[in-house]
Amino acid sequence: MKLTYIYHSGYAIEAKDFTIIIDYYKDSDNKVVRNNLLKKKGRLYVLSTHSHHDHFNKEILSWKTEHPDIIYIFSRDILTNENAKDRDAIYLDKSGFYRDETLFIQAYGSTDLGISFLIKAEDKIIFHAGDLNNWHWNEESTAEEIQEAEDFYQKELDLLVADVKHLDLAMFPIDPRLGKDYMKGAKQFVDAIQTDILAPMHFDKAYDKAGAFAGIALEKGCKCVCWKQTGESILF
């Protein structure tokens, strides 16, 4: 399978007969979605973890006119916030799932809006965190706020750990805007779940900051993908 970094939290996963695009916000610099993925044969799954503008772009709803074999799977808040209509997609709440002959998707929680996605396809187990993270600003927050963020994140992480012991691939936020402990949530994640590959997201263009997680990941037998630009791909 092939993983392509689109932008921000946007990723594409390609197999021989299908493609999955998750949290499309805008296209990569080389227009990998427009020039390649929308033209590719096979079923296209388009997933969105929540309605924040940097995770959901209404443009994706127009893709069905270009790619007829398309299935949209969205967090329910996208419907309740009127970003899409009932007929546009399959909507999942936390603990909901979708299954067909190609893949299985289960929704887990978030520490912000929406859900995260666990995907099982072609003997691979893949996780896209959406906005699940330890969202703390330790230099700015009170001790109570920091503890609340810690507890919230640990609760959601524990629910995932109860079901998942190993991941072939995780896409997870490593956001330098959090300050000095910006990698803490990702470290807690790989501490809790054996993860073969971690692909950073939510870092905008701070490639060096995101790639700095590689050393921490390596201690847990995990490879952190050190992206250098949008549109890059790896095989996994």
User: Model confidence over 154-206: pLDDT tens digits?
Assistant: 999 999 999 999 999 999 999 999 999 999 999 999 999 999 999 999 999 99
- Annotated domain spans of the chain: 2-235
Give dist(CA 96, CA 5) in Å, integer: 26
pLDDT at 107 over 90: yes
HSE-CB at 104 with a 13 A cutoff on CA atoms is 7
CATH superfamily of the 2-235 domain: Ribonuclease Z/Hydroxyacylglutathione hydrolase-like (3.60.15.10)
Q: Give the long-range contacts of residues 77-86, CB within 8 A, separation 24 or more.
A: 77/50, 77/51, 77/113, 77/114, 78/48, 78/50, 78/51, 78/114, 81/51, 83/51, 83/56, 83/58, 84/58
User: Model confidence over 6-54: pLDDT tens digits?
Assistant: 999 999 999 999 999 999 999 999 999 999 999 999 999 999 999 999 9
| Higher pLDDT among residues 48 and 139, named by residue | 48
Q: Are 31 and 4 in contact (CB under 8 A)?
A: no
pLDDT of residue 160: 98
* Banded pLDDT at 137 (limits 50, 70, 90): confident
Give dist(CA 28, CA 133) in Å, integer: 24
* pTM as predicted: 0.97
* Banded pLDDT at 106 (limits 50, 70, 90): very high
Residues of the chain with pLDDT > 90, as a percent, come to 95
User: Model confidence over 52-74: pLDDT tens digits?
Assistant: 999 999 999 999 999 989 999 99
Alpha-carbon separation of residue 157 from 65, 178, 203, 212 (angstroms): 38, 19, 21, 23
pLDDT at 139 over 90: no
Q: Are 190 and 172 in contact (CB under 8 A)?
A: no
Give dist(CA 87, CA 66) in Å, integer: 18
